[in-house]
Structures are given as structure tokens and as C-alpha cells.
Chains A and B, each alone.
Chain A
């Protein structure tokens, strides 16, 4: 996940939110009220264990409905990389009750009413969503619930969709930075499935059989492995009634949902990767292992990332971009279910040398680890993040999208408390997490080295790779 997105995630205790009163829990037969945090109420559908989050917001006559399945590319193994994503595509191919031939497909319904809709897959989750006029909400919930268990999943649909997904993969390969990111993850993770890209390896995309996709669907697409989120111009009781009406008859999974138990072995030395291919300008990326999103150090790591790369006063902007060594610097601080990576990207300016930029980047990190940061730097970073949190509540869809990442990280309530944690970060915390996590032995450094191809025959196809959230 991008740091940029993370800045837009945390909320609720920020001054700058849409007024959200904490509602009294709605009473609804068939649901168990679990808790309320930040105005969001959690219920469980008793019939099957479906988690339900509801946040009424009457500022516009629209509503967002999102279902988040707790399955992502971390649940894939050898030979089936990219299966989560390919299955996500096939989820739009129809069921006996909702399909294109009958004019009842999800695309036909949602485009007719002008909905903003799609689906995305990432490391830890798959989500399906629509933001639409509230009067169309029920029709969407009906179709979303239907495809949880009634999908056709035919090989005649897989074959043409495979080449669609392969072209999505190819579009990613066009971008050297994307290719570099994939290589870094592949090098940094030897055993844990974050090793492989969410879009999968090319050969797996091409060859995964429909039976394996069916197996995936039958393993993970159950109500007790999902969360539905409803935000918008609807009362809680009405939202729950719709969920019960359409999801209530679906049974819970007949088997326990398999859990990932692989832990990445401890890294005992720095790793390096190089991507050499046609291009114009180089990139240096320095990655360090960071803890899972629910770790208490997450807030301080986000502040650290901001101090290093966010804005003209950040350490690396001043040391690199302002010195014309880079055209930009940025940081992606991982926010995932399992320990992930904080990656600093430095895009080289013309004539800049990889080694020089890498050395300055590492020197700045070492200086920060040794000397620490100022109170003013922390204060500025914190205020930027808190304000971004407020901006990120602009509309039901924005809230649902951000909440989705906390659901997949393992605890949606962090969405309502991370701002407070960020507000409490001190200069000592930043220095401590820098020394704890930004250590050379846990690093993976990547260079993108552009090469001008010789005149003559085109080069052979590049090796495959891929990370990042991807959508249908």
C-alpha cells in the first residue's frame, strides 16, 4: 500500500470530519451487535457469521456497499499465483440469476444507474463495491450476495478472460518502476507469499485451470470469511434488513477457512536486485522489513516515512531533489496483514549516478538514526497526516475504500484509532523505529538501470513479476 493512501486512512478523532454521531445500536432479529467505534457499528449476521459494518451518512443521496473477502495473493501457492485476481475478474461473468444474456448482469445493472463500481485484489483481500444512488442499493446487494455462492465459473469464460488479465500484466510490465517493485518483493520474501505479485507470474495466469479457481472460490467465498460495509444515506436498521434479506440464507463455510501460517524467515544480510531494460532514467529503491499493520509501531513508521520524503522540507527532498539528483522521492510504508516493507523510491535526474543517490539516501537514514528528528518535523508530519485523514472522509466511497484496508489488515477499529496513535508519536519514537527497522541486514536495495537497446532486432520479452493493488 502506498504511503499516500495511508495518509488518507485514519480518521475519526480528527477535527475535520463529517459530523458522525455515534448511533445507538440498532436492534434487528438475526444480528448480534458487536461494537461501535467512531460512529461505525459492527454486527454479526447470526445465520452465517457475516461481519457487517454500517455508517449512516446523509450528506448526499448516495450509498456505498462493499464486500471484502479476506483472501488475497497471500493465500496463493505455487502454480496458482494470480488466482485470486483472475477469480475476481470471473466474478463478473454471471450466475444463473444474473447474467448478460438475460440483461440482468452486474455490469448491466450498475452501468444503467450510473454507479461507480469495480473490484480490486491485493495481498490480503479482494473487494467488490459500488457507490450509487441510494434507490438502487437493494438491487446491488441482491446481485452481490448472489455471486458469493452461485457463480458460474466456466472455462469458456476463463479462456478469454485469461488474455485480458495477461494484458493487464503486460501493461504493468511496461512500467520499469513497477517491475522493480516486483523484483524487490520477490527478493525480500523467500518463504512468505508476499514474495509473488498479486497479479501472479505470467505462466500461472496463462495456465491455471478452472478447477483450481473453483477450488479457490469454494474455499474462501463464504460469509464467515467476508465483511460487508454499508455507508451512506441509509438508516442502520434498513441496511441490516437488506443484508439479512439477501445474505441470510447463505450457509457458513462447511470447513474452517484455511489460515496462512508461513512466517518469513529472518533475513540475515542485505539483498540487492537490478532490473535492466529499455528506459530513460534510473531509479534507486531501498526497502526495509517492517511489522504488520496492527503493530503499535505503525504510527511512528508512517511519521518516519513522511519526514523522509513528504514535501519540500522532507529530508530526502532537500538532500536529493533540491540538489538535482532526483526528480522525485517517495516512500511506501507497508500496511498489511503480515510484516511487509517500507520502500523509499528515488527517481534519478538526468546524469545522476545510482551509487551517489543510494549513498546519500543511506547517509540520511543513518543520520536520522543517530541524531533523531526534531519536534517541529514530527509536528509537521503529524498535522499533514491528520488533515489528510479529514480530507479522506469526503464521501461514502472514500470512507469505505479506506476502511477496507483496515479490515484486511485484521482489525477495522484501527481505522478509528490510528489518528490518536499518530498524534502521540514523539521524536524519540521516530528515532527508535528507525533504529529498529531500518537496518542494513533487513534491507533489499533495487536499481532500475535503463539501457538503450542496440539497433537491430527487438529484444526478447522481459522476465515477469508484479505487486500493488490491481483492479478488474
Chain B
């Protein structure tokens, strides 16, 4: 129930820290892997993360659930140890290691004490290289995944997000979330043979990135990575998505869910922008002025002045690897839904028609550069930003240049980006919850 993630997206927007991350970070290619190490003042703790391109979009024309299932099987045992033995090794020293599968990437993250880094790197390599893919564990993973998906259907946020994705992205896009029923059917029909084939084709060191931050010895880390991943070959899937027009979806969609007294609303469109496009940062700044924080226009009016919602905000996202989206997200009680939508559209129109002011721009610039500094005050913040930055295709120096890039943005650039890339008259509106005007028979 914590709204601070919506209101304070400081890590997502932030970039470089105080004195030079690029100067502190050591980037080398070891055993084919892009290894980035950054020693900080924290004592004994190492935070690590990493990724490789083997997410859902790499299913291609095959079973669309296979990439997620491969990722879910990574910690279910390897060819040399079962899942309990691996978990025991990690638990016995309090180390953490988790995997997650997204549209483009399989990502991992974790923490350990300095002394345990060699062991954890060894286990990471073992799990990435040699998952057992046992039939017994596969059956369990399929059932657990099916249960998690079924439970997600209870969430208005999940239902609205899925519908929005389907309305603005084509299948094959890393940002496309398939209908849950279709994904469940794919989970059911997937086989271990499918998983093994996908793993052999997609996983490997050539596009693997590992980031480690904290109390580490860079030379020791390099040696451990070299040893653990020695002899592994392959990988190297190219991240390349063709530009696709949004589907011709219904502009207004209502998902009736009984006994959901808060309706989730998403209003937005495909942005047509990648993060590397010149207009990406100006549009982000403009969007922050509309809907970031308590002083953003949406919160200041729709929540603080009119009392219509607990949370409302706008953001640009999903644009690291392909053109992303722009959206306003909000929650409204069914009885206040109509008023809430009216106020939201009013603020959107005003912002679009009149643009933002120079005072708002200057305030938002200091917000972004200030929150950047705060966000990079932890090993988590530093590791996460390094990984995002290199995955977007930037050099590490970009982290240190970010505040200057923000400062350089002009009012004209910001207001032009709004007009050029957005069209409030053609946005998709998704509502999920106990919507008063929608009879259950009409539910999607």
C-alpha cells in the first residue's frame, strides 16, 4: 500500500552520482562476459545483478511461455546439485540470489557477504550454465506458475496493465503481455525438450552482463568469474525489434471485477520513443511535471485539491530496448470514477495545450538531479543504475554526464516533445474494477 514508489521514481529517472561512477567502476570482458565492478565504502556487503537477453520476446514463433519457464527452472536444481542443496549453501551464509524474466532480459540479483562472493559466483554460473530441467521439478514449476497467474487475475492493477499492453503493443514486442488464458495454455503445453532447446540457443556468456558493487576485491572477482564461467560458450542473441504500429485496439476498455472498491485506471498511448532518442529526456521531464510527486499537477489537483484519488501519476517507460509507452495511472472509488476521469482529462488537456512553464522546468531539473544523488547512495542504487545504463547501450561515463544532460534541456524542447509524440484525443483508456456503469455480462 506504499505509494512512495509511484511518487518518488527517483531511481528510475536518476542517473549519475556525485564524484564519478565511471572513475570508480572497472569494466572488463572476462570469459566473454561484460563484467562491471564498483568498490564502495560499504563494509563486507556485496550487491550484484546482471542480465542476458533471453526474455519472453525471444520465444519467437515458438511456445510463448518457454522463456519464463526456463528462467523459473534456473534455481530448481542443476546437473550436479538439487535445488535443496543449492538453497542450503546460500541459506547457510545468508546469501541471496534471485532470477526474473522480463520481455527482453533474464535478470538476476542478489547480495552476499564479501567472504562468500566466490561461492555465490560459482552457484550463479552453475545455475545459468547447467540447469537440470528435471521432469519432476518442471511439473511443479508449471503448477506454481499457473497458480501465481491465476492469483494475479484478482488484481485490478494486473488486469488493467495487461489490457493496456495488449492494446498498444503487437505480439512479439518485449512490452506485450499476452492474455493470461493464452499464457496459461502455453505453460500447460510446454515440454522439457522445449526448455532445453531454448536454453542451448539463447543462454551463453556473449551477451551476459554482471555488475557487482560494494566491498569487493576486483582482482578476486575477475578470477572467480573467469574460473566459474570458463569454457562456456554461446549466447549472443541480438536485441533488435522492428518498429511496429500499435494494434487497432478498442480505445476504451472496461474490465468488470466484482468486489473491487477501487478501480484502476490507465490512460495512455505508445510513445514511439526509445530512451536513446533525443526527445526521450525532454518528454520524461514534461511527464514528471504532469504526474510525478505530490507537487506534480495531477497529484496537486486531482488528489490534494479535489480529493478524488489516493494515487495518480504519469510516466514514460518500457523504452530501453524498443519504443515504449506513455501513461497516466490512477485509482478511483467507483462513485468518484466519472469525476476522477473528468479531472484527469482536464489536467492532461491543459498540459498538452499550454505546455509547462519555465518555473516548473527548473524545479523538475533540480528534483531529478537531487534524487539522482540520493538514489545512488546505496549499493542497490548504484548496481541497478549501472545495469540499466549499459543495457540501454550507453558507456559508463553517461552516468556521470546525466546531470548535465538534464540541465541542458530547454523549455522549447520539453513543450515540443509533448506535442510531437502525444495525442490525448487518441489515447487508450483502461478501467478495471467494480465499474458502476458496466454490467457483469459485459465484462471482457
Question: Do A and B bind?
Answer: yes
A residues sitting closer than 8 Å to B (CB atoms) are 15-19, 59-62, 92, 107-108, 111-118, 120, 131-133, 136, 159-168, 170-176, 178, 277-281, 310-313, 321-322, 324, 327, 347-350, 379-381, 383-388, 390-391, 393-398, 450, 453, 455-459, 461-462, 468-472
Q: List 5 A-B contacts (CB under 8 A).
A: A113-B366, A171-B310, A387-B94, A387-B111, A394-B380
Contacts of A322 in B (CB 8 A): 140
Flag if B147 contacts A349 (CB, 8 Å).
Answer: yes
Contacts of B83 in A (CB 8 A): 312
Cα distance A178–B332 in the bound complex, in angstroms: 19
Contacts of A176 in B (CB 8 A): 154
Q: Of B17, B146, B260, B307, which contacts A164 at CB under 8 A?
A: B307
Q: Does B250 contact A (CB under 8 A)?
A: no
Contacts of A178 in B (CB 8 A): 1
Q: Shortest distance in angstroms between A419's beta carbon and chain B's nearest beta carbon? A: 12
Contacts of B4 in A (CB 8 A): 116, 118, 471
Nearest A-chain residue to B305, judged by Cβ: A160
3 tightest A-B CB contacts, nearest first? A387-B94, A114-B370, A160-B307
Q: Shortest distance in angstroms between A392's beta carbon and chain B's nearest beta carbon? A: 10
Q: Shortest distance in angstroms between A160's beta carbon and chain B's nearest beta carbon? A: 3
Hey, what's the 0/1 contact readout for B137-178 against A, CB within 8 Å counting as 1?
Answer: 000100110111011011110000000000000000000000
Q: Of B143, B151, B307, which contacts A162 at CB under 8 A?
A: B307
Q: Shortest distance in angstroms between A393's beta carbon and chain B's nearest beta carbon? A: 8
Q: Does B426 contact A (CB under 8 A)?
A: no
Flag if B1 contacts A115 (CB, 8 Å).
Answer: no
Hey, what's the 0/1 contact readout for B29-44 against A, CB within 8 Å counting as 1?
Answer: 0000000000011111
Q: Does B331 contact A (CB under 8 A)?
A: yes
Cα distance A387–B366 in the bound complex, in angstroms: 36
Flag if A18 contacts B3 (CB, 8 Å).
Answer: no
Flag if A174 contacts B155 (CB, 8 Å).
Answer: yes
B380-419 contacts to A, CB under 8 A, are 380-381
Contacts of B262 in A (CB 8 A): 167, 170-171, 173-174
Q: Of B88, B373, B374, which contacts A380 at CB under 8 A?
A: B88
Contacts of B84 in A (CB 8 A): 312-313
Which of B99-107, B268-276, B433-441 contacts the other chain?
B433-441
Nearest A-chain residue to B137, judged by Cβ: A322
Q: Of A112, A120, A321, A462, which contacts B261 at CB under 8 A?
A: A462
The total of interchain contacts (Cβ-Cβ below 8 angstroms) comes to 253
Q: Shortest distance in angstroms between A249's beta carbon and chain B's nearest beta carbon? A: 28
Flag if B261 contacts A173 (CB, 8 Å).
Answer: yes
B306-338 contacts to A, CB under 8 A, are 306-311, 331-333, 336
Flag if B144 contacts A165 (CB, 8 Å).
Answer: no
Q: Shortest distance in angstroms between A344's beta carbon and chain B's nearest beta carbon? A: 18
B80-102 contacts to A, CB under 8 A, are 83-84, 87-88, 90-96
Nearest A-chain residue to B111, judged by Cβ: A391
Q: Of A114, A168, A390, A395, which contacts B368 at CB under 8 A?
A: A114
Contacts of A455 in B (CB 8 A): 440-441
Hey, what's the 0/1 contact readout for B277-293 against A, CB within 8 Å counting as 1?
Answer: 00000000000000001
Nearest B-chain residue to A199, judged by Cβ: B1
Q: Does B7 contact A (CB under 8 A)?
A: yes
Known: A327-B151, A472-B3. A107 touches B307 (CB 8 A): no
Flag if A380 contacts B143 (CB, 8 Å).
Answer: no
Q: Shortest distance in angstroms between A53's beta carbon and chain B's nearest beta carbon? A: 19
Flag if A18 contacts B43 (CB, 8 Å).
Answer: yes
Q: Does B421 contact A (CB under 8 A)?
A: no
Flag if B378 contacts A398 (CB, 8 Å).
Answer: yes
Contacts of A386 in B (CB 8 A): 94
Q: Shortest distance in angstroms between A161's beta carbon and chain B's nearest beta carbon? A: 6
Flag if A311 contacts B10 (CB, 8 Å).
Answer: no
Cα distance A132–B374 in the bound complex, in angstroms: 6
Flag if B367 contacts A108 (CB, 8 Å).
Answer: no
Cα distance A62–B376 in the bound complex, in angstroms: 10
Residue of B47, B93, B113, B368 most packed against chain A (CB within 10 A): B113
Q: Shortest distance in angstroms between B374's beta carbon and chain A's nearest beta carbon? A: 5
Contacts of B70 in A (CB 8 A): none
Flag if A112 contacts B367 (CB, 8 Å).
Answer: yes
Q: Of B1, B151, B306, which contacts A470 at CB under 8 A?
A: B1
Q: Shortest distance in angstroms between B9's beta carbon and chain A's nearest beta carbon? A: 11
Nearest A-chain residue to B88, judged by Cβ: A313
Q: Does B352 contact A (CB under 8 A)?
A: no
Q: Shortest distance in angstroms between B64's beta carbon and chain A's nearest beta carbon? A: 20
Contacts of A172 in B (CB 8 A): 1
Flag if B10 contacts A395 (CB, 8 Å).
Answer: no
Flag if B366 contacts A313 (CB, 8 Å).
Answer: no
Contacts of A164 in B (CB 8 A): 303-304, 307, 309-310
Contacts of B48 in A (CB 8 A): none
Q: Does B371 contact A (CB under 8 A)?
A: yes
Cα distance A456–B377 in the bound complex, in angstroms: 54
Cα distance A17–B18 in the bound complex, in angstroms: 22
Cα distance A166–B44 in the bound complex, in angstroms: 44
Q: Of A15, A163, A391, which contacts B307 at CB under 8 A?
A: A163
Contacts of B256 in A (CB 8 A): 458
Q: Of A173, A310, A395, A459, which contacts B258 at CB under 8 A?
A: A459
Contacts of A62 in B (CB 8 A): 373-374, 377
Contacts of B88 in A (CB 8 A): 313, 380
Residue of A278, A386, A387 most packed against chain B (CB within 10 A): A387
Known: A112-B363, A160-B305. A59 touches B42 (CB 8 A): yes
Contacts of A461 in B (CB 8 A): 259, 261
Q: Shortest distance in angstroms between B345's beta carbon and chain A's nearest beta carbon? A: 19
Flag if B45 contacts A394 (CB, 8 Å).
Answer: yes
Cα distance A441–B368 in the bound complex, in angstroms: 55
Hey, what's the 0/1 contact readout for B332-354 against A, CB within 8 Å counting as 1?
Answer: 11001000000000000000000
Known: A18-B42, A279-B154. A107 touches B333 (CB 8 A): no
Given A170-B331, A394-B42, A462-B259, 10 additional A-B pairs, CB 8 A: A60-B17, A61-B18, A111-B363, A114-B370, A167-B336, A380-B88, A381-B91, A387-B96, A398-B378, A456-B440
Q: Shortest distance in angstroms between A435's beta carbon and chain B's nearest beta carbon? A: 25
Flag if A133 contacts B1 (CB, 8 Å).
Answer: no
Q: Of B113, B294, B332, B434, which contacts A390 at CB under 8 A?
A: B113
Cα distance A15–B373 in the bound complex, in angstroms: 27
Q: Shortest distance in angstroms between B181's beta carbon and chain A's nearest beta carbon? A: 13
Known: A112-B366, A279-B154, A312-B87. A324 touches B42 (CB 8 A): no
Contacts of A17 in B (CB 8 A): 43-44
Cα distance A234–B433 in the bound complex, in angstroms: 48
Known: A111-B294, A116-B374, A396-B377. A350 touches B113 (CB 8 A): no
Known: A133-B370, A171-B331. A349 touches B143 (CB 8 A): yes
Q: Does B65 contact A (CB under 8 A)?
A: no
Q: Shortest distance in angstroms between A134's beta carbon and chain B's nearest beta carbon? A: 10
Nearest B-chain residue to A57, judged by Cβ: B41
Cα distance A17–B87 in the bound complex, in angstroms: 24
